[in-house]
């Protein structure tokens, strides 16, 4: 079976047959169920080719049956039962919402995903995964859907995906919208730590010269981090160098002519290139 959805369904059937929490935990680890599930659903979110619709429907039903069974299976005070109640139940709930969104994507496409997103009575994770599937597809005429979430009072998870998806809409002057959003949330350190890497990665892809003044400002006011994808100054240096051909003065590297600085920026730029088409879902409960 090369289709990962079929592998996922088979693994879920194995969990349903587990007679004890200990057996459930062994089956979970043996199949690497969480990784298997997210990998399978990611493909279904991204591709609108009616791939595995029947298997997705089965996966959705299996997940619902598992969630119904877990309270009875894990009612004891053993360590395995506690892990099932504390960790596996919440993960299966997220997978079920994600599977339901993937099924909508396969059956009804863009229109179905937008309908779920607009339904404020729907569970938040269901709306989020529908939005994420829409982002993976980033249809040309749906920029307004993402733009609506590029405001500081939107839910942070939706805001993050909208900021990442902006990279696919260069003709909509998305870079200016991202700079405005960054300026809005600049003083909120928690939100900034979450959004900044997503905004700057999209600006890297958009490569809009009009963002040069903003990026130069980050060279002296941006946050620093050991990891280049989380370092505002490194990200800004890479983009400014691409526009100007120079490593400009900044708060991270005092010797802008050092060979090691060029090496580190080259390595960071390769990393940013590798991530240019990847979106990163977050945990929504």
Q: How far, in Å, CA of 204 to CA of 59, rounded?
A: 38
Q: Is the CA virtual torsion 93, 95, 98, 102 positive or negative?
A: negative
Q: Are 136 and 45 in contact (CB under 8 A)?
A: yes
At what angle are helices 189-206 and 174-185 packed, to 10 degrees? 160
Q: Do 147 and 223 have their domain in common?
A: yes
In this predicted structure, what is the pLDDT of residue 45? 79
Q: Are 169 and 146 in contact (CB under 8 A)?
A: yes
Residue whose pair of structure tokens reads 């120079």 in the numeric block: 246
Q: Do 30 and 147 have their domain in common?
A: no
Final residue of a domain: which of 137, 159, 183?
137
Q: Do 119 and 180 have their domain in common?
A: no
Q: What is the percentage of the chain residues whose pLDDT exceeds 90?
A: 86
Q: Do 106 and 212 have their domain in common?
A: no
Residue 18's pLDDT band (cuts 50, 70, 90)? very high
Does 13 reside within a domain? yes
Q: Are 34 and 98 in contact (CB under 8 A)?
A: no
In this predicted structure, what is the pLDDT of residue 1? 47
Does 281 reside within a domain? no
Average pLDDT on 213-228 reads 96
Structural domain tally of the chain?
A: 2
Q: Tens digits of per-residue pLDDT, 49-97?
A: 555 688 889 999 999 999 999 999 989 889 999 999 999 999 999 999 9
Q: How far, in Å, CA of 283 to CA of 26, rounded?
A: 24
In this predicted structure, what is the pLDDT of residue 285? 61
Average pLDDT taken over every residue of the chain: 93
Q: How far, in Å, CA of 130 to CA of 118, rounded?
A: 10
Final residue of a domain: which of 115, 137, 159?
137
Q: Tens digits of per-residue pLDDT, 186-206?
A: 999 999 999 999 999 999 999
Q: Do 193 and 261 have their domain in common?
A: yes
Final residue of a domain: which of 114, 137, 160?
137
Question: Which candidate, 260, 198, 190, 189, places its Cα nearest to that of 229?
Answer: 198
Q: Tens digits of per-residue pLDDT, 102-116?
A: 999 888 889 999 999
Q: What is the pTM of this model?
A: 0.90
Does 280 reside within a domain? no
Cα-to-chain-centroid distance, residue 15: 27
Q: Do 103 and 153 have their domain in common?
A: no
Structure tokens that stand for 69 in this block: 């069974």
Residue 211's pLDDT band (cuts 50, 70, 90)? very high
Average pLDDT on 198-224 reads 97
Q: Tens digits of per-residue pLDDT, 133-184?
A: 999 999 999 999 999 999 999 999 999 999 999 999 999 999 999 999 999 9
Q: Do 148 and 132 have their domain in common?
A: no
Q: Do 163 and 260 have their domain in common?
A: yes
Residue 206's domain comprises 140-274
């Amino acid at each position: 079976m090369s289709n990962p959805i079929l592998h996922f369904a088979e693994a879920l059937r194995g969990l349903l047959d587990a007679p004890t929490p200990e057996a459930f935990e062994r089956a979970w680890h043996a199949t690497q169920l969480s990784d298997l599930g997210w990998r399978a659903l990611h493909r279904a979110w991204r591709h609108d080719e009616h791939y595995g619709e029947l298997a997705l429907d089965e996966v959705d039903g299996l997940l619902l049956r598992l969630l119904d069974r877990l309270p009875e299976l894990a009612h004891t005070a053993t360590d395995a039962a506690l892990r099932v109640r504390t960790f596996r139940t919440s993960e299966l709930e997220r997978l079920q919402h994600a599977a339901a969104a993937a099924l909508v994507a396969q059956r009804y496409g863009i229109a179905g995903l937008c309908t779920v997103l607009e339904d404020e009575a729907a569970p938040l994770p269901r709306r989020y995964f529908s939005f994420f599937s829409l982002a993976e597809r980033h249809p040309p005429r749906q920029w307004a859907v993402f733009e609506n979430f590029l405001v500081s009072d939107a839910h942070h998870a939706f805001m993050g995906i909208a900021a990442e998806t902006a990279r696919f809409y260069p003709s909509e002057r998305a870079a200016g919208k991202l700079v405005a959003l960054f300026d809005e949330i600049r003083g909120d350190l928690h939100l900034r730590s979450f959004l900044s890497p997503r905004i700057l990665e999209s600006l890297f892809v958009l490569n809009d010269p009009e963002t040069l003044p903003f990026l130069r400002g980050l060279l002296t006011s941006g946050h620093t981090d050991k990891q280049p994808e989380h370092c505002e100054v490194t990200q800004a240096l890479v983009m400014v160098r691409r526009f100007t051909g120079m490593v400009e003065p900044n708060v991270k590297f005092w010797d802008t002519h050092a060979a090691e600085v060029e090496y580190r920026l080259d390595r960071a730029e390769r990393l940013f290139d590798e991530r240019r088409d990847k979106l990163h879902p977050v945990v929504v409960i």
